């Protein structure tokens, strides 16, 4: 390991320009796209998103028909009169959307937020879970 260098790199949390025009003054111009891990097991789908600086009160999770949107506002303490000299992160607003599929039970999404990591557990509807099909002989 090189002592002064990063060991690994990862995909960028790049700010992306929002499309909100003059009609959408509420939308911040820059949005952070949280890095996510997504996996599926027999029970459902799990989404884990990095949203450092976001507390529970500033987190918003919305399901609208087949789309899932996670949104959050990062807040951190800053001393009086501080001037930024360097910033990898250039926005306070996180937002990312996903398209869900019909077999997922959006009424039973479980959300946990801890140390800036959001974990969403989206269960499959009972009838969509894998069943073992017994093969009969004869």
The one segment of 19-27, 42-50, 121-129, 130-138 that binds other proteins by CB under 8 A: 42-50
Distance CA 118, CA 47 (A): 8
91 sits near other proteins (criterion: CB under 8 A)? yes
137 sits near other proteins (criterion: CB under 8 A)? no
13 sits near other proteins (criterion: CB under 8 A)? yes
Report the C-alpha dihedral over residues 58, 63, 64, 67, rounded to 10 degrees.
110
Q: Judged by CB, which is closer to other proteins: 3, or 136? A: 3
22 sits near other proteins (criterion: CB under 8 A)? no
What residues contact residue 119 under an 8 Å CB cut-off, 6+ apart? 46, 47, 48, 111, 112, 113
Give the number of other CB atoms < 10 A from CB of residue 89: 13
Rounded to 5 degrees, φ, ψ at 128 are: -95, -5
Q: Which of 12, 21, 23, 24 is nearest to 50 (CA)?
A: 12
Given 41, 60, 66, 103, the residue binding other proteins (CB under 8 A) = 41
81 sits near other proteins (criterion: CB under 8 A)? yes
26 sits near other proteins (criterion: CB under 8 A)? no
- Residues in the interface with other proteins (CB under 8 A) total 54
- Max CA pair span of the chain: 83
Q: Judged by CB, which is closer to other proteins: 9, or 136? A: 9
**Which residues would be at the binding site for other proteins (CB under 8 A)?**
1, 4-15, 17, 29-30, 35-41, 46, 48, 50-55, 74-92, 114-117
């Amino acid at each position: 390991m090189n002592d002064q260098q990063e060991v690994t790199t990862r995909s960028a949390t790049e700010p992306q320009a929002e499309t909100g025009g003059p009609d959408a003054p509420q939308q911040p111009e820059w949005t952070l796209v949280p890095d996510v891990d997504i996996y599926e097991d027999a029970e459902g789908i799990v989404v884990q998103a990095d949203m450092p600086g976001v507390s529970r009160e500033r987190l918003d999770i919305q399901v609208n028909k087949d789309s899932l949107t996670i949104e959050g506002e990062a807040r951190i303490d800053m001393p009086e009169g501080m001037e930024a000299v360097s910033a990898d992160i250039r926005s306070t607003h996180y937002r990312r959307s996903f398209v869900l599929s019909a077999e997922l039970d959006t009424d039973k999404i479980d959300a946990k937020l801890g140390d800036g990591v959001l974990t969403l557990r989206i269960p499959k509807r009972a009838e969509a879970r894998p069943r073992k099909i017994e093969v009969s002989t004869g």
